[in-house]
Structure 1
Amino acid sequence: MIEPLALDHGNLQKLVTADLVRPDHLLGAHPVTQGGVEGVRFAVWAPAAQHVSVVGDFNGYNGFDNPMQRLEFGYWGAFVPAARNGQRYKFRITGADGRTVDKIDPYGQFFEVRPATASIVWQHDFAWTDGEWMTARSQGFDRPVSVYEVHLPSWQRREDGWFMNYRDLAHKLGEYVGYMGFTHVELLGVMEHPFDGSWGYQVTGYYAPSSRMGTPEDFKYFVNHLHSLGIGVLLDWVPGHFPTDEFALAKFDGAPLYEYADPRKGFHLDWNTYIFDYGRNEVVMFLVGSALKWLQDYHIDGLRVDAVASMLYLDFSRTEWIPNIHGGRENLEAIAFLKRLNEVVHHMAPGCMIVAEESTAFPGVTKPTPGGLGFDYKWAMGWMNDTLRYVEEDPLWRKYHHHALTFFNAYRTTENYVLAISHDEVVHLKKSMVMKMPGDWYAQRAGYRAFLALMWSTPGKKLLFMGQEFAQSTEWSYESELPWYMTQQPDHRGVMNLTRRLNALYCSRPDWHTGDLLDEGLQWISADDADNSVYAYLRRDPQGEAWSLVVANMTPVYREQYPVGVPQPGEYRLLLSTDDGEFGGFGTQQPGLSTTDEGWNDQAQSLRLNLPPNAVLVLEPVPAPVVSEQR
């Protein structure tokens, strides 16, 4: 356990100047022994407050028993001998507006289960066993990254309908993710939040795992166990906005403190939330400290930073806005914050992965600082929108939108991309992924299998939201667990088998992941057959000789003996057909996979393939046998 820092002038000055990267070691509630007396030391930042006291189980919530002393730079502190680990507490603040409000601890490490809101004094005690994982984990861009996005409260529930404990989830989710072949899980809804319907995106406890599913130690067990299975853990992190709940950060000391004062800059109209004031060092370090808390203390392997576009632009989703000092629309303070965040966390938490959910063409999101923002990856929102629009189109009209599937290749190496199909695509009447596909139930499943194969064989890291791996036919609901009964039905089990097979190909074949971020990772064979809606391309390992051929037929028309050019003569073998019976298809057969000298697609040789309707084939050349000399 790291000892809390002293409340002296030097440490307070470091916090003011943003030199203290772990402000939670100074602020919050820390059990200490002071002058030979055991108790808890409390500290809070409330510069505009007229009076602050700490109330809790130790004083019957009496605001007169433990007043806090005003320190330098707007900080308040108190040592309470009667306080102990595990007790509830709040800060009772008489603010600049003259009102007295009980506030949570912004640096609270544990909270009551909602709807109660008190912070809880908590001293962590957990023995990690993942030292080998933490030492070996690498941020190498040529490694496979296949992420299973999970909302833990609704992934699976207890029989009585309540949330499962982190420890139980560790075993159930870990076994499932390992079976399915994903390399990482990404958790939304883990940081403490009062409203279930926000899915965890209106955070009040930036330093605390949600108490709905257990204690901080329980959550550490969850991470530790997944690491023991070779599975990385990523978290959704929300530094762009926070809720207006009076008990939390909003107008914390009776005036705007964590938020910008001017609502044209400090209020999100879309989400009814406040926007952090990135121009205040104390706010910057609150957020940086939160990131480090998860990466260092909880051994998290990376953060997906939510709604980055809303942070970058002052006019994001608003008609009234304040230009920056140059008259532009960029939030220069937020840009500086994101650069500092990425510089600090990569230095302090080696091997971590920081991913931006950024939906615009802001330049250099994944380029190194100081020129870029310094993120490792960025969600490929353009790829997602183009591809979904294409596959939702009636196949009869897809030929008029043919290059929606090829356009990503024109810019895919400008950033380091994650191909993400997230929770946002399967809610609010958008339908589940399989139900977006046109046609009857068989055609929908065939189209969805083809979509998954295209996604996994397209360069870029992968992310799929829970339930979509088995073609969940209903929209996701945060109020109940996934419809696991579907996985026992052959139609859904087939898609589940395909997802597992795609993960196995992606992780085991270097041509499917080492070139994810390089031009050499993909070579088009046929990108222009719009009339037939057929695509063919090679996936290549830029560092070796491995390669494979991907052919997609995106109409419900069976195409017999369709010619495809290939760069190498000889025999080929089928690695994958999304039409296989194992995946729920018809099992279309290939009569022969030998090349002929018939040139096609600017290649000297070609194959004649039977293309199943709405299906993707993956092939590789068969190595020529080695003939030994006879003596």
Structure 2
Amino acid sequence: MKRQDSEIFHDEALCKKSFVTGENFKSQNCLGVHLINDEQGEFYVFRVWAPNAQEVFLVGDFNDWKDTEPMTYDKETGIWEIITDLPNEMDLYKFHVTQQNGRKIMKIDPFSKMFEKRPGNASVVYIEKEKKWKDGLFKGRHKRSNHFKRPLNIYEVHASSFKQHTNGNPYTFKDLTEELVPYLVQMNYTHVEFMPLMEHPLDQSWGYQLIGYFALCSTYGTPEEFQEFVEACHLNNIGVLVDWVPGHFCVNDDALAYYDGTPQFEYVDPERAENRRWGSINFDLGRPEVQSFLISSILYWVETFHIDGIRVDAVSSMIYRNYDDGPFTLNHEGGYTNLEGYYFLQKLNAVMKNEHPEVLMIAEESSSETKITGSIENSLGFDYKWNMGWMNDILRFYEMDPLFRGDNFNLMTFSFMYMMEERFILPLSHDEVVHGKKSLMHKMWGDRYKQFAQLRNLYTYLITHPGKKLLFMGSEWGQFLEWKFNEELEWVDLEDELNQQMQFFTSELNEFYRQSSCLWELEDTRETIEIIDADNKSDTVLSFIRQGKKKKDFYIVILNMTPVERKNFQIGVPYEGTYEEVWNTEMKEFGGTWEKHNKSCETSNNEFKQFDYSIETTVPALGALILKPADVRINRKK
């Protein structure tokens, strides 16, 4: 039984029209599959955008995959539709499309909210149920507060390789609710970030080549299970971030690629459509229907799953025409900027700030030519940008033999020159522990003991350097082997005492960060830091102050980058009085050798650079110290 087009509601007609003008940011409410219940009975309506197709049939389990259910075409919008009572919920379906050139091909539903499990790839007739959320306190608190002035410490996770069952199957979100949420609490992280969770056909892409922009990958369980996971995180005061890929999509012939036989989701220019670097296809970000599709996708994830932040992947590839390998054309102004991508991202962030200003918008972007964070008028409008420069410099430095670190000390300190140009996240991410780059632990110079010492030093620098924090899973205990996307983490490492102590160190450091307001409440201002000494190349020791709102709320950070203990080491301090050690990476419980902290330090009147007073302490070999004022007098002379 079918219903006629005249019975479609007026608001659905408006929904279709706004989709093609690029202003429908809830287009999943119109396209895809929907259930209608009225006096005539129960029906399903299917809609798909394929403006240049000759013919489209709805096929599936319910009609033996035969062309018995023709869809009708709306010339004004390019949308095909059918209303029928044939399917049952959870049936499989596709659209049998006769493309512009007459080629017939089975295509997925771009708006499908569920796919069958691999190796199948059909869409599923799935109607989501409205969830009664219990996270109102968490959501309300975050709406009212300023996230720039809160701690943000992210644990980055690849969902299917965090843990796996004994048969090799990855954990679903039901499993992760039981295992990962308590672990996040134990490790004192404020947020968890997932590499893309949307449907993708190939694990080797890590989720960065998508086919389903509205569907949780079937490997990870059901949408309801993911909702329960997010709610459990929120009830434990943990935010949830998700990676999202609006720049390019999977080349699979049965997915979005040349859907109706013409450039539809992709650029008309084949050179601009082809993403040679990643073997994928670039979205035409200037096309209104594509803008509706992508912005609807991000809002769907935020609203359906209560996501607290989105990391937009590969922003550079979206805003520069010369980013990819191979030939490129200049824009109509004669420049390298991809204007369509630039204005799309501004539009995306404007919509997000209007709809959900509390949701963090994060850019993974590797250049310095374009302002990424800030107001829409002066930038792309993101809240945060990954600091790829800091990450590259720091890892080069820590991999280096200490004999050469003094001559390359600028790698350690250069970020101080530009740290306020954007709002940064400091990422030690998955990209740095794969493809022969070695794990963070393996990158460290020296024997195993020295590697752990330097890892503790590195994480202390991460936590005390201005900017929000991100660490990839397994790095918290010093996993030695590289990350493998198809295997679980090396949890067996934790049978070793040094790995246990490293894990404990990270947990304690994370809690130290959460409880230390001077490490985050002013970090979007220059007042957050004062350099004590960034020129000590001979000793290769870096020292600086992190300042909170109150004058006496500050830390002194000292990082020794050599395997030489520095006794009676002098640094300048801002005020006269007593300073006590509150953090020492070489304490025995962390895997070091020190059983007691340094004694409290009394100032002397010896001037040190811009400071009127100085103190002396012992800095462990390859160690890091943090001191705080215990009893000081605010009487700075200069």
TM-score range, shorter chain: over 0.9
Matches within 5 A, 1:105-254: 105-125=109-129, 126-138=131-143, 139-254=146-261
Alignment RMSD (CA, Å): 1.6
Q: Which amino acid aligns with 2:15?
A: N
Q: Deviations over 1:218-252 (max 9, x none)?
A: 11111111111110000000001101001110111
Q: 1 CA distance for matches of 2:561 and 2:104?
A: 64
Q: 2 CA distance for matches of 1:136 and 1:109?
A: 30
Match of 1:612 among 616, 620, 627: 620
Q: 2 CA distance for matches of 1:414 and 1:514?
A: 18
Q: 1 CA distance for matches of 2:541 and 2:408?
A: 12
Q: Deviations over 1:1-35 (max 9, x none)?
A: xxx97675432221111221111001000111366
Q: Which residue of 1 aligns with 2:319?
A: 312
Residues 570/8 of structure 1: CA separation in 2 closer, same or farther (3 Å cut): closer
Q: Aligned with 1:451: secondary structure? A: helix
Q: 2 CA distance for matches of 1:559 and 1:545?
A: 27
Match of 2:297 among 290, 300, 307: 290
In the alignment, does 2:499 pair up with 1:492? yes
Match of 1:101 among 95, 99, 105: 105
Q: Which amino acid aligns with 2:418?
A: Y
Q: What is the Cα deviation at residue 448 of structure 1?
A: 1.2
Q: What is the Cα deviation at residue 592 of structure 1?
A: 4.8
Q: 2 CA distance for matches of 1:504 and 1:587?
A: 21
8 Å contact from structure 1 (residues 191, 210) kept in 2:
yes
Q: What is the Cα deviation at residue 189 of structure 1?
A: 3.4
Q: Which amino acid aligns with 2:101?
A: D
Q: Tell me the matched-pair count.
A: 621
Residues 5/571 of structure 1: CA separation in 2 closer, same or farther (3 Å cut): farther
Q: 2 CA distance for matches of 1:231 and 1:83?
A: 40
In the alignment, does 2:604 pair up with 1:600? no
8 Å contact from structure 1 (residues 7, 26) kept in 2:
no
Q: Aligned with 2:62: secondary structure? A: coil
Q: What is the Cα deviation at residue 488 of structure 1?
A: 3.0
Q: Which amino acid aligns with 1:95?
A: Q
TM-score between the two structures when normalised by the length of structure 2: 0.95
Q: Aligned with 2:506: secondary structure? A: helix
Instruction: Give identity over the alignment, percent.
Output: 38
Q: Aligned with 1:491: secondary structure? A: helix
**Unaligned residue ranges in structure 1 (runs of 5+):** 626-631
Q: 2 CA distance for matches of 1:272 and 1:247?
A: 16
8 Å contact from structure 2 (residues 12, 30) kept in 1:
no
Q: Which residue of 1 aligns with 2:636?
A: none
Q: 1 CA distance for matches of 2:569 and 2:592?
A: 19
TM-score between the two structures when normalised by the length of structure 1: 0.96
Q: 2 CA distance for matches of 1:394 and 1:6?
A: 70
Q: Which residue of 2 aligns with 1:439?
A: 446
Q: What is the Cα deviation at residue 327 of structure 1?
A: 1.1
| Structure 1 stretch displaced more, 312-321 or 147-156 | 312-321
Residues 282/40 of structure 1: CA separation in 2 closer, same or farther (3 Å cut): same
Q: Which amino acid aligns with 1:129?
A: K
8 Å contact from structure 1 (residues 296, 349) kept in 2:
no
**Unaligned residue ranges in structure 2 (runs of 5+):** 1-7, 634-638
Q: Which amino acid aligns with 2:627?
A: L
Q: Aligned with 1:206: secondary structure? A: strand
| Structure 1 stretch displaced more, 471-480 or 595-604 | 595-604
Q: Aligned with 1:570: secondary structure? A: strand
| Structure 1 stretch displaced more, 315-324 or 191-200 | 315-324
Q: Which residue of 2 aligns with 1:62?
A: 66
Residues 485/506 of structure 1: CA separation in 2 closer, same or farther (3 Å cut): same
Residues 165/372 of structure 1: CA separation in 2 closer, same or farther (3 Å cut): same
Q: Deviations over 1:565-620 (max 9, x none)?
A: 11122222211111111111111752552222332233222221111111100011
Q: Deviations over 1:474-528 (max 9, x none)?
A: 0000111111121232111222122112211211111011122211111011111
In the alignment, does 2:573 pair up with 1:569? no
8 Å contact from structure 1 (residues 301, 351) kept in 2:
yes
Match of 2:358 among 330, 351, 358: 351
Q: Which residue of 2 aligns with 1:263?
A: 270
Residues 132/9 of structure 1: CA separation in 2 closer, same or farther (3 Å cut): same
Q: Which residue of 1 aligns with 2:306?
A: 299
Q: What is the Cα deviation at residue 140 of structure 1?
A: 2.5
8 Å contact from structure 2 (residues 518, 547) kept in 1:
yes
Q: Which residue of 2 aligns with 1:87?
A: 91
Q: Which residue of 2 aligns with 1:479?
A: 486
Q: 1 CA distance for matches of 2:150 and 2:190?
A: 10
Q: Which residue of 2 aligns with 1:461?
A: 468
8 Å contact from structure 1 (residues 564, 601) kept in 2:
no
Q: 1 CA distance for matches of 2:28 and 2:581?
A: 56
8 Å contact from structure 2 (residues 243, 310) kept in 1:
yes
Q: What is the Cα deviation at residue 406 of structure 1?
A: 1.3
Q: Which residue of 2 aligns with 1:78?
A: 82
Greater than 6 Å deviation, 4+ residue runs: none
Q: Deviations over 1:141-165 (max 9, x none)?
A: 1110000000110001122221222
Q: Which residue of 2 aligns with 1:329?
A: 336
Q: Which amino acid aligns with 2:297?
A: S
Q: What is the Cα deviation at residue 411 of structure 1?
A: 0.8
Q: 1 CA distance for matches of 2:550 and 2:10?
A: 52
Q: Aligned with 1:622: secondary structure? A: strand
Q: Which residue of 1 aligns with 2:585?
A: 578
Q: What is the Cα deviation at residue 319 of structure 1?
A: 3.1
8 Å contact from structure 1 (residues 588, 610) kept in 2:
no
Q: Which residue of 1 aligns with 2:36?
A: 32
| Structure 1 stretch displaced more, 590-599 or 160-169 | 590-599
Q: What is the Cα deviation at residue 263 of structure 1?
A: 2.3
Q: Which amino acid aligns with 2:113?
A: Q
In the alignment, does 2:386 pair up with 1:383? no
Q: Which amino acid aligns with 1:604?
A: D
Q: Which residue of 2 aligns with 1:629?
A: none
Q: Aligned with 1:623: secondary structure? A: strand
Match of 2:515 among 501, 505, 508: 508
Q: 2 CA distance for matches of 1:76 and 1:223?
A: 35
Q: What is the Cα deviation at residue 624 of structure 1?
A: 6.4
Q: Which amino acid aligns with 1:611?
A: V
Q: Aligned with 2:342: secondary structure? A: helix
Q: 2 CA distance for matches of 1:315 and 1:123?
A: 42
Q: Aligned with 2:538: secondary structure? A: coil
Q: What is the Cα deviation at residue 405 of structure 1?
A: 1.4
Q: What is the Cα deviation at residue 425 of structure 1?
A: 0.2
Q: Which residue of 2 aligns with 1:628?
A: none
Q: Aligned with 1:58: secondary structure? A: helix
Q: Deviations over 1:545-584 (max 9, x none)?
A: 4101000110001111111111122222211111111111
Q: Aligned with 1:300: secondary structure? A: coil
Q: Which residue of 1 aligns with 2:378?
A: 371
Q: 2 CA distance for matches of 1:386 and 1:370?
A: 31
Residues 21/160 of structure 1: CA separation in 2 closer, same or farther (3 Å cut): same
Q: Aligned with 2:601: secondary structure? A: coil
